[in-house]
A = this chain, B = another copy of it.
Amino acid sequence: MHYPEALNKLMVALGKLPGIGPKTAQRLAFYLLNAPADEARDLAAAILEARRQTHYCSVCGNLTDRDPCRLCTDLGRDDSVICVVEEARDIVALEKTRQYRGLYHVLQGALSPVDGIGPDQLNIKGLLQRLQGGTVKEVLLATNADTEGEATALYLARLLKPLGLKVTRLAYGIPVGSDLEYADEITLARALSGRREMV
C-alpha cells in the first residue's frame, strides 16, 4: 500500500516516540490528519514552544522555564535535605505525595556501563558542589529500584558517606493496596527484612 509521502514521514516521526509502535503511530497519524486544523497546529507549536522555553535548572537539573527553578528558589522548602533522582519527571511523582519538603537534584540518568554511562555522564559534580556549603545534612537517594538505579545509589552512598552526611534510600516493600500473592519474591524478601514494628 502506497501512503502519501507526508503521511509516511509523520508515521515515522511518531513511531520514534517511546511506547509508540507502528500500529499506534498509524492511528495517531490518521487522527492528526482528520483532527480540526488548530488541534494539529497546536500540537506542533506546543512541541517547538516547550523545547524553546524549557531548560534545565542550573542548580538542581529540574526542567524549568526560569533559572534557578521554582523549587530551588522556594524559601518554604527545607534546604537541609536533597533528594537525588534520575530524571526530572521523578520530581513530579515525589511532589505528588506532598510528603517531601526538601530540595532535589536530578542526575539526568543512572549508571549503566553497557550504555556507556559512567559517573562522568551524570550530574554528580553539581551535587558535590551543592554539598560544600555545609547546609545540607541529609541526601535521600531516590533512584529507581532497578539494577541501574541500585548501582547508582550504592555508588553515591560510598561517595557521600565519607563527607559525614546522612545518606538515606527510599524504602522497599510491597506496594500499598497490592495482593501479597502477586508480589515477586525479591520485593517480598525486602519487605520482610525491612519490617517495622507496629505502634
Interface residues of A (CB under 8 A from B): 1-7, 9-10, 12-14, 16-20, 24, 26-33, 35, 37, 39-54, 63-65, 70, 87-89, 91-92, 95-96
Nearest CB of B to A185, in Å: 28
Asked whether A92 lies within 8 Å of B33 as measured between CB atoms, the reply is no
Pick the contact of A43 from B1, B14, B42, B45 — CB < 8 Å? B14
List B contacts of A13 (CB < 8 A): 39, 42-43, 46-47
Q: A1-B91, A4-B63, A65-B6 are in contact. Are A50 and B26 (CB under 8 A)?
A: no
Q: Which residues of B contact A16 (CB under 8 A)?
A: 35, 39, 43
Q: Contacts A31-B17, A33-B51, A33-B63 known; A46 to B6 CB distance under 8 Å?
A: yes
Report the separation of the CA atoms of residues A9 and B45 in the bound assembly, to the nearest whole angstrom.
Answer: 10
Extra inter-chain contacts (13) besides given A19-B27, A32-B47, CB under 8 Å: A4-B50, A6-B52, A6-B53, A9-B49, A9-B50, A10-B47, A13-B43, A13-B46, A29-B50, A40-B47, A40-B51, A44-B45, A44-B48
Q: How far apart sit A27 and B14, CA to CA, in the bound complex (Å)?
A: 14
Chain B minimum-CB-distance residue to A74: B2
- A18→B27 contact, CB < 8 A: yes
Given A40-B48, A43-B14, A48-B40, A65-B5 contact (CB < 8 Å): yes
